[in-house]
Amino acid sequence: MRRLLAVLALTGLGLFALAAPASAHNTLISSNPTQDASLEAGPGTVVLTFDLPIQEGTGLNTVAVTGPDGKQWQGGPATVDSNVVSTPVRELGPKGVYTVGYRIVSADGHPVSGKVTFTLTKAGNGTPAPANADVGTVPGTESGGPDGGVPIWVWLVGAAVLLVAGLFVALRTGGKQPE
């Protein structure tokens, strides 16, 4: 019985070690503007704060501000400072819902995408980014799951391998090996 418990404990530890990296995706913890904010004037800058540092690199991280007119309103490429990614925003135009779509690369190398929306309640005098502006690729068009990480069968196979290994160790150390 103690041996069985040891095997279960080992297996549990192994599963934990396997599962830990999967939960290390960056998570958006705050934004400015906040989700569902109502603004009378454009924010000037969009700031997205994550719980973990973002991997830096040209073109790795993109933030796009799409207006109610479907046009792009970000003023330039996104910049990363540790766990914060920010993007300048042009003076806004039509009132309505603006969507901040982001795609960043997690500390653990996995891409994370999502969006924040806010509402402009008074039309501004701004003009959208020219169609050929270098503002990075527009994120949010790919439809992968919220994870985009390792498929579940990898964890299941890992668990099975650990279980077999645990049983093997238990049998070897059990002193009842078949001759």
Which residues of the chain form contacts with Cu ion (CB under 5 A)? 25, 108, 110, 149
Q: Which runs of E-coded beta strand occur in 33-168? A: 37-39, 45-50, 62-66, 79-81, 84-88, 96-105, 111-120
Give the shortest CB-145-to-Cu ion separation in angstroms. Answer: 12
Closer CB to Cu ion, 103 or 110, in the complex: 110
Give the shortest CB-112-to-Cu ion separation in angstroms. Answer: 8
Q: What is the dihedral of CA 154, 157, 163, 167, to 10 degrees?
A: -140
Give the shortest CB-109-to-Cu ion separation in angstroms. Answer: 7
Closer CB to Cu ion, 7 or 48, in the complex: 48
Length of the chain (residues) = 179
Q: Name the closest residue to Cu ion (Cβ).
A: 110
Instruction: Find where tokens 């000037």 sit.
Output: 44
Closer CB to Cu ion, 11 or 106, in the complex: 106
* CA angle, 87 then 89 then 94, to 5°: 145
Closer CB to Cu ion, 126 or 149, in the complex: 149
- CA dist 116 and 59 (Å) reads 20
Give the shortest CB-161-to-Cu ion separation in angstroms. Answer: 21
